[in-house]
Structures are given as C-alpha cells and as structure tokens.
Amino acid sequence: MISYKLNTKTGILETTFKGNISMQDIIDYISALAQDKTLPQKLKVLSDASKAKLAGEPELDELMRIVETNKKAVALKDGTYDAFIISGSVETALGQIYMDLSKTEKYMFKVFSTKKAALEWLNKF
C-alpha cells in the first residue's frame, strides 16, 4: 500500500510505502501525484519505504517504465525533491540504480537510511 499526505506545516509531502509493493503500484502512485492539482509546484517528498518490500523480481523494463512515468510527472512541476528512506538491501540497490536513471534538471532523488538524514537533505531546498 502507498499513501501520501501533504504536511501543511512543513510543506513536505509525506509518503508511506507498506507491505509488498509492485512496480505497477509505484507507477500508479506517480501518476496520482501528477494528477493531484493540490500539490505545490516545488514539491518536497519524504518517501518512507522502510516497512516495504518489492513484490516479485523487478525487471529492467519495469524500472524503465517507472523512470519514464516519473519524467512526465516531474515535467509538470517547477522542481521535485524526493528523499527516499529504504531499509532492504535489494530495495536500496534498486534505489541507487533509479537515482542514476532518473536524473533531470527538475528532479532530485536520494536514498537514505534514516528519517533525520532525509529531512536534513530536503530542508536544503
């Protein structure tokens, strides 16, 4: 399950990933964010996936679909900064690969192991 809520106090979109998450779940989440007109144009996202696992064996073509979906979504924003908290080794490795594949001028993505470090990075923007 993926859920999100904008913290109006901090201006940070807080996203929680729990349980088994499929690559399609991630694509659906990105699409939902792109369609959500209530979110700020400069979007800071704190994604906590520390209690989530990827369902099944991720394929490269699935990862590329996520990258392409995300590129379209972030093009609609002035800037998106995504601090991703991950605990699993497979998820961390995929996060690092995704970070390299998804670089654009309007999107910054970084993997963290703690919420404190993730928030420190986000608050720089």
Angle among Cα 85, 89, 95 to the nearest 5 degrees reads 50
Identify the band that residue 47 occupies on the pLDDT scale cut at 50, 70 and 90: very high
Burial of 8 (0-12, 13-18, 19+ CB in 10 A): exposed
Which of 56-60's residues contact partners 24+ apart within 8 Å by CB, and which partners? 56/22, 58/23, 58/94, 59/23
Identify the band that residue 39 occupies on the pLDDT scale cut at 50, 70 and 90: very high
Q: What is the Cα Rg of the chain in Å?
A: 13
* Total tally of structural domains belonging to the chain: 1
Whichever domain contains 27, its CATH number is 3.30.750.24
Cβ distance 47 to 17 under 8 Å?
yes
Poorest-confidence range of 14-23, 34-43, 49-58, 100-109?
100-109
Q: Which alpha helices (DSSP H) does the chain contain, by range?
A: 23-35, 60-74, 89-101, 115-122
pTM: 0.85
Domain ranges, residue 20: 2-122
CA-to-CA distance for 49 and 47, rounded, in angstroms?
6
Residue 91 pLDDT exceeds 70: no
Poorest-confidence range of 28-32, 56-60, 105-109, 118-122?
56-60
Give the per-residue pLDDT at 58. 74
In this structure, how many other beta carbons lie within 10 angstroms of the beta carbon of residue 66?
20
